[in-house]
Structure 1
């Protein structure tokens, strides 16, 4: 009932607060026998962690993961895997001025009215810090899917504020602080972010993520469709306000003669469906895009009210990302992996005995991500 658990057969329960002693999750349902250590999880956490460039929050957290249970002699046991990440660089004093006020665009107002109280330190439970355990759990799902099905995940930032970032090559993503699949536009993105920080303002972002090597047949009709669960998961990411799968909203302007992906003996001619038909995976690439709103915690003074309803002005201090979307790529990858992992286990449980002639791998349109 608390909204902290995700998944049916591969279940992840997230716990902790931004300025508490630790954050973490419990992963239940991971099949036994898979080799697993902290070294399998840490690389994705390192990609997401704060303080990695001047363009993100300067909170300095190592985000070192600890496996507390569910692994014996280097292999998963099939029992719950508890993952712990200790908080080491909290500065709760930065939030003293918002104890009795609500930051516009933030969850302060809604948390206060839902629970009757809230943890104002760094946003408490509503902080993007709580995406770290999700990334850790996603690393486990990625490993199982890669070893069992050859499924891989790749994401990149395709728009920063009003700047559209052209796709050049996925190889560029690890080589810049923006997760951009681009090498030529990085100076422009840096100048844009530096200007935002000087102005005490923020911007949004668009993130594209893709899963390749997805088995055919994942997803359930009617209400557990694969694309519905992907959208549900992505909307659980802090600051996400929109999700597109495949052509997304561009499908509105397309005709049926164009939008429907034709089939040929060699495979699908295109992938406007984003790899999902009728809520079930086609075996093509799963393509997802996220719209992330501007960071709500900014230095620019904004109008608000206090707990008594009196008018006031709020200016947020502390260490914040001028664009939370910059570090969202590994989070989106992790959530897509969690959804596919859960549905892969559900498919194995219900339809493991289904046997059909296997044709060639579905053809793909030229990749855009």
Structure 2
């Protein structure tokens, strides 16, 4: 059960970075949706490796094959099975860490928990797992229809996109390889990532996500609050270290009179420091949140570490790795946000007899 995301709508996944394939089963997806397969592949292409000079150069087509749950182009209401074959593994690049632990990676914890570890590309701890989430999220996006979900890179290291999201043109997010809709800031981010990559190092960053047109009432009281479900999904992304929504940590500096969102007569609010969520339930305003990512743990320079027996060793990353994870994580953030919203939307349909 711990490789399953969702409540009513659920995704269960399988696969390892250097195994034969990744894939999953989506349960309780509504019947009758006409699937746009090109849009699903487009989302996968946004996430795939090798797409630019500032990401890992592993070459994968990341082509999804649907095995069940779709007939004559429409969802049938039965479990949707899918698979993406791995095509470009170079497992020998990881032989040197078969018995050693990379600092800040999952090597040690996996070994201690399971007593066995697939060291090739990180095995199950690889960020390649996110390919499954993008397939499910791409379907969820089509189900949500009028809801707009736009994520973008808002910082790389100390370089920040300082413009508020309201001043950004999200149609320009895909115009550059770092996926920041502000061209001037994007150039600085790209230069920084290239500089870090040349040093054999990595760097962290943040992604901001904005969700528009969410109807009032999405989210469940107490333990399935909308922000809590979003946070859980985001914090499961590899390398994610933080989540904040609305005013976030800045809200802790404010007084109630400064922070309260006053109502207009149409029930919208004059400000939106709540981030579109009150009491764990959407209030109709924009939902916006920010996700923080640490630098990728594998760096291409020597580091002191230990082996399985506790002996001091020196490890150095080899092979193909992202110098900064955030450009490829943008579609992952959007996909998880879509899947969470679709799940809670379906649950909300059961809350009122008038919905039947």
- Which residue in the other structure is 1:362 paired with? none
Q: Which residue of 2 aligns with 1:217?
A: 217
Deviations 1:218-277 (A, max 9, x none): 111111111111111110111100000111111011111111111120421111111110
CA distance in 2, matches of 1:157, 1:240: 14
What CA distance in whole angstroms lies between the structure 1 residues aligned with 2:39 and 2:7?
A: 23
Q: Which residue of 2 aligns with 1:227?
A: 227
CA distance in 1, matches of 2:227, 2:354: 24
Task: Give matches, 1:250-261, under 5 Å.
Answer: 250-261=250-261
Cα distance in 2 between the residues matched to 1:227 and 1:37: 29
Structure 2 alignment gaps of length 5 or more: none
Q: CA deviation at 1:353?
A: 2.1
CA contact (8 A) 2:206 2:293 kept: yes
Is 1:57 the counterpart of 2:56? The answer is yes
- The answer as to 2:156 corresponding to 1:160 is yes
Check 1:320–1:352 CA distance in 2 against 1; reply closer, same or farther (3 A cut): farther
Structure 2: distance between partners of 1:297 and 1:351: 50
* In structure 1, C-alpha distance between the alignment counterparts of 2:353 and 2:175, rounded to whole Å: 41
Give 1:38 shift: 2.6
Q: In 2, Cα distance between the equivalents of 1:37 and 1:186?
A: 31
Q: TM-score, normalised by structure 1?
A: 0.93
Q: Distance in 2 between matches of 1:63 and 1:287?
A: 29
Aligned length: 351
CA distance, structure 2, for counterparts of residue 130 and residue 222 of structure 1: 30
- State the alpha-carbon separation in 2 of the partners of residues 31 and 174 from structure 1: 30
- Deviation of 1:171 after TM superposition, in Å, equals 2.3
In structure 1, the gaps of 5 or more residues are: 356-369
- Greater mean alpha carbon deviation, residues 192-201 or residues 151-160: 192-201
What is the alpha-carbon distance in structure 1 between the residues aligned to residue 330 and residue 280 of structure 2? Answer: 24
Q: How far is 1:352 from its partner?
A: 4.7
CA drift at 1:112? 0.5
TM-aligned CA distance change 1:90 to 1:9, over 3 Å: same
Over aligned residue pairs, what C-alpha RMSD do you find? 1.3
1:62-101 equivalence runs, <5 A: 62-101=61-100
Within 5 Å, which residues of 2 pair with 1:298-309? 298-309=299-310
Native 8 Å contact 2:50 2:56 kept in 1: yes
What's the offset of the Cα at 1:37? 4.6
- Contact 1:38/1:65, CA 8 A, preserved across alignment: no
Structure 2 residue aligned with 1:197: 197
**2:177–2:190 contact (8 Å) kept in structure 1:** no
Cα displacement (A) at 1:165: 2.3
Structure 1 runs of 4+ with >6 Å offset:
none
| Displacement of 1:354 | 6.8
- State how far apart, in whole Å, the 2-side matches of 1:280 and 1:188 are: 38
Contact 2:65 2:83 in 1 (8 A): yes
TM-score with structure 2 setting the length: 0.96
1:284-338 Cα shifts (integer Å, max 9, x gaps): 1111110000000101211211000111111110100001112111100011111
1:310 alignment partner in structure 2: 311
SS at the partner of 1:297?
A: coil
